[in-house]
A = this chain, B = another copy of it.
Amino acid sequence: MENGAEAPVPGARAPKTPERAHPVTLRDVAEAAGVSTATVSLVVNKKKAARIAEETRRRVQDAIRTLGYRPNAMAKTLVSGTSRFIGLVADGVATTPFAGQIIHGAQDEAWKHGYALLIANTEGNNELEQDAIQMMLEYKVRGILYSTWFHRQTDIPAPLREADFVLVNCFSNEPGTRAVVPDEVQGGRSATDILLGHGHRKIAFINATIPAPAKDGRLQGYREALEKAGVPFDPELVLEAYPDQEGGYRATSDLLTRGVTAVYCYNDRMAMGLYDGLREHGLSIPDDMAVVGFDNQEVIAAHLRPPLSTVSLPHYELGAAGVRMLLGLDGAPGTGTGGVAKIHCPAVERTSVKAQARA
C-alpha cells in the first residue's frame, strides 16, 4: 500500500518548511516580476492572442529563470479536463524480444503530438490489467492502446470501454472496434515472392501447428503468391511444425522428402532450427536450399550464417499507427470510428536465398 518512507527530510525537524525541490509556483513568479499570475500564464504559454509588452515579458522570463520555475502539469490538466497522456497496456513487453518495439513506436509517435506514454505491462494477469486500465482512466488519459505480444484475437476488458481505445497487434470480433494489425497475408506473399523472384518454383512452406491469424494469413499469402506466379499449389509442400527452433530442426527430414529447392518458414526461429538440420544433412544454404523466414527477429535473422532473408513484423509501425488512429490522424485507414488497419510487413532480403537457374 503506502510506502512508509516519505520524502527525505534534511533538517530532521522543519515541520512546515517545504524544503523539497520546487515549490516555485506561478504566483511566486508573478510576485517576483511584479505582475499578475494571468500575465505569467500568458507568457509561459506563448499565447499569440495576447500581446504582452516586450518589457513585461522580459521581466517575467527573468523571474522564471532565476526562480527556476517549472509548470505543474497536474494543475494544467485539472483545468483543461484532459491530460496529455496516452496509456499503453501490454500483455508482455517482457515475453518477446521485439514487442518492445511497439512501445518504442507508440512513444515516438505520441511524443510527436505532445503526448507522454503511460505504460502498464500486465503479463497476462487479468486483475493487474483491470487495475492498470482503471489507473489510466483516473489519470484521464487521452486514450488507451491495448496491445498483445503476438497477433491474435482478444476480448475487450470491460473498463477499457470507458476510454477511447484502439487494439494493437490484436483484434476483436465485435464489429466497429478499432485495431491495427500486421498484414500477414501480404507478408506471406512477400516471403514467397522472395523465393519466386529468385527463380524458385518448388517451394515448401513449413507452417505452424498452432492456430493463429498468422498461421492462416501466412499460408494464404503463400498461395496467392504462387498463384500469381502461375505455380500450382501443392498441398504436399505444406508441412507443419511447432513454431520454434526445435520444430524447425525436426521438420528437416520431412522437408528433404519433398524435393524442393526452397523453403519458406513460418518464422525465423524455425528457420534457425532448420539451418541446423540442413547442416547436419550436409546441405548448405543457400546453395542446396534457399530459405526465408518471417518476423525478422534481429538477433536471429541478421546473424545466422548465412544471414536470413525474411519478412519484418512491423512492431514499431504498429505502435505508431496505433496512436495515430487513436488521435484520429491518419486519413484513410481505419476511417472514422470502426475498422482495422493492416500494416505492411516489409521484406528484408539477406543472403539465404540464391538465384536458381530456371528449370
Q: Which residues of A contact B (CB under 8 A)?
A: 1-3, 5, 7-8, 20-22, 68, 70-75, 77-78, 81-83, 93-94, 97-101, 103-104, 107-108, 111, 113-114, 116-121, 123, 128, 135, 137-140, 162-164, 244-246, 249, 269, 272-273, 276, 279, 297-300, 303, 305, 316, 327-329, 337
Contact = CB atoms under 8 A, between A and B. Distances in A.
Nearest to A279: B279
A274 to B, nearest CB: 11
Contact of A73 (B20, B72, B123, B139): B139
A98 B97 contact: yes
A102 B83 CA distance: 26
A73 B276 CA distance: 54
Contact of A117 (B20, B118, B137): B118
B73 A140 contact: yes
A121 B138 contact: no
A8 B104 CA distance: 27
10 contacts: A3-B113, A8-B328, A72-B140, A93-B100, A93-B103, A97-B298, A97-B299, A103-B103, A116-B139, A249-B305
A74 B77 contact: yes
Number of copies of this chain that the complex holds: 2
Given A93-B104, A100-B99, A114 B305 contact: no
Contacts of A123: 104
Contact of A71 (B121, B138, B276): B138
Contacts of A71: 138
Contact of A3 (B100, B245, B303, B327): B327
A107 B78 contact: no
Contacts of A329: 3, 5
Contacts of A72: 78, 138, 140
Contacts of A70: 137-138, 162
A99 to B, nearest CB: 7
A291 to B, nearest CB: 16
Contacts of A94: 100-101, 104, 316
Given A3-B113, A297-B299, A303-B272, A121 B137 contact: no
Nearest to A305: B276
The 4 closest A-B pairs by CB, nearest first: A97-B97, A100-B100, A245-B303, A94-B104
B121 A1 contact: no
| Residue among A1, A5, A111, A138 with max Cβ neighbours from chain B (10 Å) | A138
Given A94-B100, A272-B303, 18 more contacts: A1-B114, A3-B327, A3-B329, A7-B82, A22-B137, A70-B162, A73-B135, A73-B139, A74-B77, A93-B93, A93-B100, A94-B316, A100-B103, A104-B123, A107-B121, A111-B120, A118-B118, A249-B305
